[in-house]
Chains A and B, each alone.
Chain A
Amino acid sequence: MSLLSEMNDKATALGIPLSVHIDVTYRCNERCVHCYLDHDDKGEMSTAEIKNVLDQLAEAGVFFLVFSGGEVFMRQDFLELVEYARNLLFNVKIKTNAVMIHEAEARRLRELGVEQIQISVYSHRSAVHDAITKLPGSLKRTINSIKFLKSQGLKVTMSNVLMTVNRQDQRGTHALAKELGVAYTLDPTVTPKLDGDTSILSLRAADDDLDLLFSDSELVGDVSEFCKPPVPVDEDVLEGHSCSAGHTACYINPYGEVFPCVQFPLPTGNVRRQKFTDIWYQSPQMNEVRSIKVKDLTVCSSCSHAGSCTRCPGLAYMEGSMRGPSTSDCEKSFHRTGIPSANMLRKAAMASSGPLIQIQPMLG
């Protein structure tokens, strides 16, 4: 077991929030077609408020801190916040579109000892990338910024989302990452908007694309290992939980609201009115999330994928129940292994059983 895994286990046992993702703004200079956010500023936290939250997070034992948005550099004080966080000795990762990073910003991020910069790039072709971000010239500016960051020796990851509108460019985008000497990740997850609007789900990649993705060793590593049949479901699996949300991780939005995860829009409290540790340890919602074990899941507890599925409780919550299945993860499990999930079998059975009420016209 690696030191990092040991640390995770220890944090889980002690109930320590090891990782926090904080969105410092929802404002953005891009308008990505798949974005789940409302970009209007509804009264985001001030510099002093965020610094106070960071003090509380350090005291609570948070080690990994992700700054994201919106676009983080839309805040004039962003580098001041990073400096404050680094003085508190957080391991800092930043998610950005990098459009506003020039040589001076790149140098400052290196001086501050930022661990990693994750940058969204959706295609190697301007026509496709800029059509997704709706910001003309954005790909060119983002690539220039990646070069600035690389020249400072910073660790950069190019992060892509697989969608219907860029599916044909996946290999080219990966090649661009290699050319620039940065890591590359590809995520097929498109989530509903935070206000519940599901229209953007039509951008989700098709089944064929998932099959291609999961058979690409450059993306998933050892394909036979990645696509191996699910592990047997035993007592350990049933007593386990889905992911770190609410256990060792949580999310704070620009308005101070605390959630189990950025993909789990269940409000648990607000750091503008409550102490962070009071929310973390005492919020009924947070405690409910962390009380749920695999054996408590309504459909997934009887699924053969229970021990190896990437089930997202936040996506399940958005589908209707935090104890229910997350259909997009059912599909991923199916496309990895060829074995349908319990949820898929249940839906197929319901579809084939015919209508519950049959109405026939009376004859003559």
Chain B
Amino acid sequence: MAETYIARSTAIAARVLGGEMMIMSAADSTFFTLNEVATVIWQAADGRTPLSEIVERRVCREFEIEPEVARRDAEQFVSELSQHGILLVSNEPIPDTKPGMAGAQ
């Protein structure tokens, strides 16, 4: 089965507030807050680490969640955030981007 790679979009504003990540999409000003587990996935979304590895190494170990439950929750989270364009998803590793670089939008 093909791996899934995730990377944070640069067309967002983001900051941790009291352990929770707050994110605002620059495109449509939609505002999100992520819980602790989602924040860990978000912070690990470097475009190079496969989602399965993030789930196994970070979510399951740090939060003691069953692998099957963690995988299903992570896939749902990734799907929701990618629909709003704030998380990029690919079957290939995703190169680094910064705001203002080609492809950042």
* Least CB distance, A104 to chain B, in whole angstroms: 13
Chain A: CB-nearest residue to B12: A89
Residue among A10, A62, A112 with the highest chain B CB neighbour number at 10 A: A112
In chain B, positions 52-79 with a C-beta closer than 8 Å to chain A are: none
Task: Please name the residue on chain A nearest to B8 by beta carbon.
Answer: A89
A6: which B residues are within 8 A, CB to CB? 33
Q: Enumerate chain B residues within 8 angstroms of A232, measured Cβ to Cβ.
A: none
Tell me which of B12, B17, B99, B100 has the highest count of chain A C-beta atoms within 10 A of its own C-beta.
Answer: B99
In the complex, whether B11 has a CB less than 8 A from a CB of chain A is yes
Kindly identify, within residues 21 to 47 of chain B, every residue whose CB is under 8 Å from any CB belonging to chain A. 22, 24, 26, 29, 31-33
Q: How far is the CA of A87 from the CA of B97 in the complex (A)?
A: 10
**Residues B99 and A115 in contact, CB atoms below 8 Å apart:** no
Q: Is A67 an interface residue (CB 8 A)?
A: no
Determine whether the beta carbon of B13 is less than 8 Å from that of A90.
yes
A31 within 8 A of B: no
Min CB distance B84 to A, Å, is 13
B24 to chain A, nearest CB (A): 5
Q: Are B26 and A113 in contact (CB under 8 A)?
A: yes
Q: Known: A108-B100, A111-B100, A115-B26. Is A92-B33 also a contact (CB below 8 A)? A: no
- Chain A residue with minimal CB distance to B101? A111
Question: Does B95 sit at the interface, judged by CB under 8 A?
Answer: no
A87 proximity list for chain B (CB < 8 A): 98-99
Of B26, B33, B105, most A-chain CB atoms within 10 Å: B26
A61: chain B residues at CB < 8 Å are 15-17
**Alpha-carbon distance A63/B33, docked complex (angstroms):** 13
Closest residue of A by beta carbon distance from B30: A3
**CB within 8 Å for A83 and B18 given contacts A3-B33, A115-B26:** no
Number of interface residues of B (CB under 8 A): 21
Which residues does chain B contribute within 8 Å of A268, judged by CB atoms? Answer: none
Query: Which of B11, B16, B22: most chain A Cβ within 10 A?
Result: B22
Cβ of B13 and Cβ of A83 under 8 Å apart?
Answer: no
Q: How far is the CA of A91 from the CA of B99 in the complex (A)?
A: 12
Contact of B99 among A7, A62, A83 (CB under 8 A): A83
- Chain B residues within 8 Å of A3, by CB: 22, 31-33
Q: Does A114 contact B (CB under 8 A)?
A: yes
Contact check: which of A89, A111, A155 meets B13 at CB < 8 Å? A89
Within 8 A of B (CB), among A64-100: 83, 86-87, 89-92
Q: Does A113 contact B18, Cβ atoms closer than 8 Å?
A: no
Chain B residue numbers with a CB within 8 Å of A91 are 13, 24, 26
Interface string of A289-302 (1 = CB under 8 A from B): 00000000000000
Please state if B100 and A14 are interface contacts (CB–CB under 8 Å). no
Tell me if A16 counts as interface (CB < 8 A to partner B): yes
Chain B nearest CB from A59 CB (Å) reads 10
Q: Which residue of B lies closest to A91 (CB)?
A: B13
CA of A114 to CA of B24, assembled, Å = 12
Q: How far is the CB of A9 from chain B (nearest CB, A)?
A: 11
With a CB–CB cut-off of 8 A, which chain B residues contact A1? none
A58 at the interface (CB under 8 A from B): yes
- A243 CB within 8 Å of chain B: no
CB–CB B15/A58 < 8 A: yes
Residue pair A14, B104 in contact (C-beta under 8 Å) = no
List 7 tightest A-B contacts by C-beta distance, closest first.
A91-B13, A86-B99, A113-B26, A63-B15, A112-B100, A111-B100, A89-B14
A-B CB contact pairs (8 Å), 16 listed: A3-B33, A7-B22, A7-B33, A10-B18, A11-B17, A61-B15, A63-B22, A86-B99, A89-B15, A90-B13, A91-B13, A111-B100, A113-B10, A115-B13, A115-B24, A115-B26
A residues whose Cβ falls under 8 Å from a Cβ of B: 3-4, 6-7, 10-11, 14, 16, 18, 58, 61-63, 83, 86-87, 89-92, 108, 110-115, 155
